[in-house]
Amino acid sequence: MRVLLLGFGCTILASADQVQFSLSTSGDFSSGTPSNLGFSGNTGITGTTDNAGFLALSNLGTFTLSKPDRAADNYDGSTFTLNLFFVAPAGIDGQTVFNAALTGTVNTQLGSVLIDFGPAQTFHFNDGIQSGGFDLTINDLSLTIPHSNTLTVSQILQGSITNAYDPPVGTDPVPEPVSIVMLGSATLLIAAKYRKQIRKN
């Protein structure tokens, strides 16, 4: 079984296509975060991107916030790490699980706890021969701080996958359409130059 590599910040030039995803999540807050703020991950998240390489992630887990006392209102400076465990798409040898970790900043604003995961991040995976990739966006989240000690509020974490692509099952890599166009253009330019030289002679 080959080792899968996961990369951050890579630009995906391949065309998007339909990719099946299977993943689960877990998460942890940094030390010092008030204990009344929690997260419960989700397992068995599955879906297939559309022809444009898009897949909505409607339930990545649930955040909960209870209200034991007024001292717990300030969460500034805390962070939250979201762990995602993916099963590699079928075109990757071995169907190995690989993981990604995204960090969100936690702040308090206008009576709410805000968790900001920042802009989309790009990931790629490979088995040494075949490769694939996708952009992952985790939506920002807001939890209204309860006014009563007996209340608990919850919010489902959502996100999306875009520009997903993976190698077709049982096939070798094929040239990208852009590469084919560039090759054709170069051939035409060389042919035109050759004809011009013949006419001069």
Count Cβ atoms within 10 A of the Cβ of residue 122 and give its class: 0-12 exposed, 13-18 middle, 19 or more buried. Answer: middle
CB distance 123 to 7 below 8 Å:
yes
pTM above 0.75, yes or no: no
Spatial distance between the Cα atoms of 106 and 124, rounded to a whole number of angstroms: 27
Domain total in the chain: 1
Of 157, 132, 151, 152, the C-alpha closest to 40 is: 157
User: Is residue 182 within a helix (H) or strand (E), and if so which, with residue range?
Assistant: helix 177-200
DSSP 8-state secondary structure symbol assigned to residue 36:
T
At 149 the pLDDT is 78
At 175 the pLDDT is 46
Q: What is the dihedral of CA 64, 67, 68, 69, to 10 degrees?
A: 140
Is residue 76 included in any domain, yes or no? yes
Q: Which residues of the chain have a pLDDT value below 50?
A: 1-15, 172-184
Spatial distance between the Cα atoms of 201 and 92, rounded to a whole number of angstroms: 55
Range of the structural domain that residue 56 is part of: 7-173
Is residue 183 included in any domain, yes or no? no
Is residue 179 included in any domain, yes or no? no
The amino acid present at 201, given as its one-letter code, is N
- pLDDT digit string, tens, across residues 101-143: 899 999 988 889 999 999 999 988 776 777 788 999 999 999 9
185: tokens are 């253009």
Is residue 201 included in any domain, yes or no? no
Is residue 188 included in any domain, yes or no? no
Assign 195 to helix, strand or coil.
Answer: helix
Is residue 182 included in any domain, yes or no? no
